[in-house]
Chains A and B, each alone.
Chain A
Amino acid sequence: MLDFDQSISRRTVLRRTLGSVLVSGGATAALSQGTFVRAEEPGLILRNTRPLDLETPVTALDHWITPNDMFFVRSHLSSPAIGLAPWSLRIGGRADRPQNWTLESLQKLEQVKVPAVLQCSGNGRAFFRPRLPGIQWEKGGVGHAEWSGVRLVDLLDRAGIQSGAAHVHFLGADAPPSPKTPAYLRSLPLERARDPNTLVATHMNGEPLPYLHGGPMRLVVPGWTGNHWLKWLREITIAVDEAPGTYQQAGYRIPKTPAPPGAVLKPSDLVPLTFMNVKSLITSPAAGAVLNRGKQVIRGVAWTGAGHVTKVEYSVGSDPKWRPATIQGEPRPGSWRPWTIDWEPPQPGTYTISVRATDSHGDTQPETTVWNRSGYLWNGIDRLTCEVR
């Protein structure tokens, strides 16, 4: 049974205290250079109470790790009761040895830790025009955490995958409100399910996986959009075909070729969302910040789905010249990399800084993402407008 996020308080508070020391240290350094950092509003951005959808303010993404209590929350259905019975993860279907795993028995398998970006496929939906239905995520339907738990492939191998199996279905404990409402039943192709980075995670940033993030266990599919990262995971079924039902067969699909609003699309015109696309966000200073003249450091993060980020560039105002930002850390698929820009505004005024990332496949962020009917995969160039006095 979960201890209902009691752990989040102690460890996160410690980390946040350290973080704020670092931040205030940074602010002190910045102040000595004549910079004013605008105070940010506390808490997450409430997009939906039922089911719960909370967005991270972009300034809270200003670190390699996004703290658990500032990490965005996305729910399809209402949060399930956890604790009516000891948690059990069932593996069956086309399996030689169907099994039940508990939190305790999972601990006997090799524990692995994977840093990975979790991003809602609809992150940035609010920026598409024409507007689209769905949660109006702006920038913060994304975060980066160290996920730990067991490899899904280890569970599949122990269950014994039968010949002919090609997909793995997943079901969480969050029940639909009505028998007419489809359950959030999803599947991964077997190849992706067997990827050593695909996890059944029981921990997030070193803490037991928090309830609102899918605790006690969730699927972690680094590089792929959040719709694959099932929360409150309880049932794994090895199968021949993709999962039936609307969420796998119709939802989370994107046109193979751009289709304008109103276009009539056949199911064969759509492909499932898998990898994220290349993206970067400016995390500091905050939009609308008032800066004094002098040396400034602009910070942010950049990531992609397949491969890794190779380049982050910036441009000031309408300057057509893109200059390199400094990328930190090591390239690692599925993870993100902080970057910095050292910038010295030449004179007072209002400045707009644009940032774009390029990945190892040679994809670069576009000005705006091509409109698609569900508002998925927005990765238009991020911009910060600030005032220099």
Chain B
Amino acid sequence: MLRKRVLHGCTRSRGTLGAWVAVGAIGLVAALPFASVLAGNRSGLAVARAAELEAEPPVDDEEAEELDQMARQVMRDNCLICHSEEMIAGQRLTRPQWKAEVEKMIGMGSPLPPEQVAPVIDFLAKHYSDAAPATTPARLTYEQALALVKPETSPALGLDGDIPRGGSLFAANCANCHGPNAQGADLGPNLVEVATLLRPSDFREVTRNGRHRMPGFKAVLNSDQENDILAWLRTKRYEAAPAK
């Protein structure tokens, strides 16, 4: 579903820098639990809309357009696990610099598949080159930023979960991507001691509907089972591996 939405966004506003910023913002609002806050961040959306309006006419080169779309999808799946679009769009670098950045991120755990490395570097060097015009960053108040990560104050879901059952459910449904100890693996990020554990609505939203390339589990887990998993995750404490 998300895939469709983002691809639709790409089709609607074809391959320009401005359009990508716009699509990024739309994708973010659609896909992330930050939606309510960012939706309230009018200046950010205004910037995105302005960028969309100022987007150059569609390019004729269908093949280039298709490559861009694929690169966007790959970046969404592999870069946005940890990063936001603003950070990428805020940088204007040469091709060698982008290459070095991508390689550095692979070293730091990005699951970018080897065959996608070159297309992503091409995309970044094309759209965020050192010659690209500056983008105007959005504004966010401290309170809006805090609202993205602070614990929910509404009655907490997950406090009544069955912890051992949650551990079993995690092992069966989540551990394949997030690792047996929930500290992350190639496909899924760490879930131990993350702010989302105190934001049950976000937790439920991602668990049910998925996020980026994570599939939704609403047909697999019922709400009691979601509670169990959350309760188990809340008991976990991050254990640092010995530094290399």
Contact = CB atoms under 8 A, between A and B. Distances in A.
B130 A131 contact: yes
Interface residues of B: mostly helix, strand, loop or mixed? loop
B225 to A, nearest CB: 21
Contacts of B150: 4-5, 211
Contacts of B28: 49
A47 B107 CA distance: 23
Given A81-B198, A131-B92, A73 B145 contact: yes
B192 interface: yes
A49 to B, nearest CB: 4
A243 B243 contact: yes
Interface in A122-139: 130-136
B198 A69 contact: no
A274 B144 CA distance: 33
A185 B91 contact: no
A283 B209 CA distance: 46
B84 A42 contact: no
Interface stretch (A173-181, A222-230, A316-324, A333-341): A173-181
A244 B243 contact: yes
B234 A182 contact: no
Contacts, number: 170
Interface residues of B, number: 59
A215 to B, nearest CB: 11
Contacts of A258: none
A238 to B, nearest CB: 16
Among B34, B91, B179, the most chain A Cβ lie within 10 Å of the Cβ of B91
Contact of A47 (B137, B142, B146): B137
Among A55, A69, A181, the most chain B Cβ lie within 10 Å of the Cβ of A181
B241 A179 contact: yes
B189 interface: yes
A365 interface: no
B4 interface: no
B59 interface: no
Interface residues of A, number: 57
B175 to A, nearest CB: 13
A95 interface: no
A83 B34 CA distance: 21
Interface residues of A: mostly helix, strand, loop or mixed? loop
B153 to A, nearest CB: 8
Among A50, A171, A244, the most chain B Cβ lie within 10 Å of the Cβ of A50
Interface in A12-43: 41-43
A53 interface: yes
Among B83, B90, B149, the most chain A Cβ lie within 10 Å of the Cβ of B149
A133 B82 CA distance: 16
A50 B148 CA distance: 10
Nearest to B104: A133
B91 A133 contact: yes
A171 B240 contact: yes
A350 interface: no
Contacts of A212: 142, 145-146, 149
Interface in B99-113: 100-101, 107-109
A61 B38 CA distance: 26
Contacts of A83: 151, 198
A44 B142 CA distance: 7
Interface in A91-109: none
A190 interface: no
A84 B197 contact: yes
Contacts of B145: 44, 52, 54, 73, 212
Contact of B185 (A48, A51, A178): A178
A326 interface: no
B23 to A, nearest CB: 15
A5 B151 CA distance: 11
Given A5-B150, A79-B149, A135 B139 contact: no
Among A70, A180, A210, A243, the most chain B Cβ lie within 10 Å of the Cβ of A180
Contacts of A80: 193-195
Among A5, A43, A183, the most chain B Cβ lie within 10 Å of the Cβ of A43
Nearest to A169: B243
26 contacts: A4-B146, A5-B146, A43-B139, A45-B139, A49-B34, A50-B84, A78-B194, A78-B195, A80-B193, A81-B151, A82-B151, A82-B198, A131-B97, A133-B91, A133-B97, A133-B100, A175-B183, A175-B194, A176-B184, A178-B185, A178-B190, A179-B183, A179-B190, A181-B82, A211-B146, A243-B243
Given A131-B94, A175-B183, A183-B240, 11 more contacts: A5-B150, A46-B86, A48-B83, A81-B194, A130-B94, A131-B97, A175-B194, A177-B81, A178-B190, A212-B149, A243-B243
9 closest A-B pairs by CB: A180-B109, A178-B109, A43-B139, A49-B84, A69-B142, A244-B243, A177-B189, A245-B243, A48-B87
